[in-house]
Structure 1
Amino acid sequence: MTLSRNLTRLLALGTLLLAGCGTLNSASESKPNLYQQLGGESGVEAIVYDMIVRIADDERVVERFHNVDIARFQQGLETYICSVSNGPCEYTGESMQVVHAGHNYTDTEFNTIVELLIEAMEAQEVPVAAQNRLLAQLAPDYSDIVYQ
């Protein structure tokens, strides 16, 4: 009887542990990734659209976009943000270095674009922690955009 009772307890403990692991896995799976925190596809699209509108209204950078194919820029930026935020997209465009080569962007222009991105995220009510995570993902691109 003691062996049977211990076996029953062991099986019950194992079942509880497995159930607990399932609960932990479900909790970690339900935690939204950065892409989800940005609002998924519609959120990223709204952020990029809002940022483009802000660029059009900002005299510090609007001239830089005078001859830019805005639809292509919009699609590329949406895909890029989706990709770096662990969304279902794969950015297959040219590298940031190639895209920005020869434009001689300044620190001020770069910082202005970052400021407008932050304003767009705030307008879409993206949590500050998610904003910071996205900015951290994009920060390494600085050296490919601003040449010193």
Structure 2
Amino acid sequence: MNITRTWFSAIAAGALLALASLAPVHAADDVTYRGLGGQQGIKNIVATLIPLIKADPRIKESFVDTDMKNLAMRLEEQFCALTGGPCVYEGEDMNDVHRGLKVTNAQFNALAEDLQIAMERNGVPSHVQNKLVAKLAPMQRAIVTK
């Protein structure tokens, strides 16, 4: 075996790997993000979700004093970041946000149902809906305080 050829092949392979790492590719973990329609899709879902929350008799009273514009922005960031998008969630920790609110499992589930309705209305496939809900489900421990 020619040592020069082996050495050149190793350098060429290293250079290709370095170039590949610079190429803008979708990460394997952004499939859910893309399934939601990217940033615009998430924005549309949240825009559909907020009126559902405000109209839902099971939870609307819990949001009377909430800055809904800020909530929408934080939900967009959170959904984007959780699903592998380019966003960074800059909101507060879920424990801090929900401390003292006495959120029940029924309220948590009502919000999850409203989110699924919002995703359906925006044409999100059910397997993608399930992936987002699965990423949000662990937050239940921090949110449900009653």
Q: What TM-score results when the alignment is normalised by the length of structure 1?
A: 0.77
Contact kept, 8 Å, 2:30 with 2:83, in 1: the verdict is no
Deviating runs (4+, > 2 A) in structure 1? 28-32
CA RMSD of aligned residues (A): 1.8
Distance 1:100 1:49 in 2: 22
- The correspondence for 1:135, drawn from 122, 133, 136, is 133
What fraction of aligned residue pairs are identical, expressed as a percent? Answer: 38
Distance 2:28 2:130 in 1: 21
Alignment CA distance shift 1:29-1:63 (3 Å):
closer
- The correspondence for 2:58, drawn from 57, 60, 79, is 60
Letter in 2 for 1:92: E
Show structure 2 runs of 5+ residues with no match.
Answer: 1-25
Q: What TM-score results when the alignment is normalised by the length of structure 2?
A: 0.78
Alignment CA distance shift 1:30-1:112 (3 Å):
closer
Distance 2:28 2:92 in 1: 33
**Structure of higher CA gyration radius:** 1
Q: How many residues align?
A: 121
Alignment CA distance shift 1:124-1:103 (3 Å):
same
Show structure 1 runs of 5+ residues with no match.
Answer: 1-27
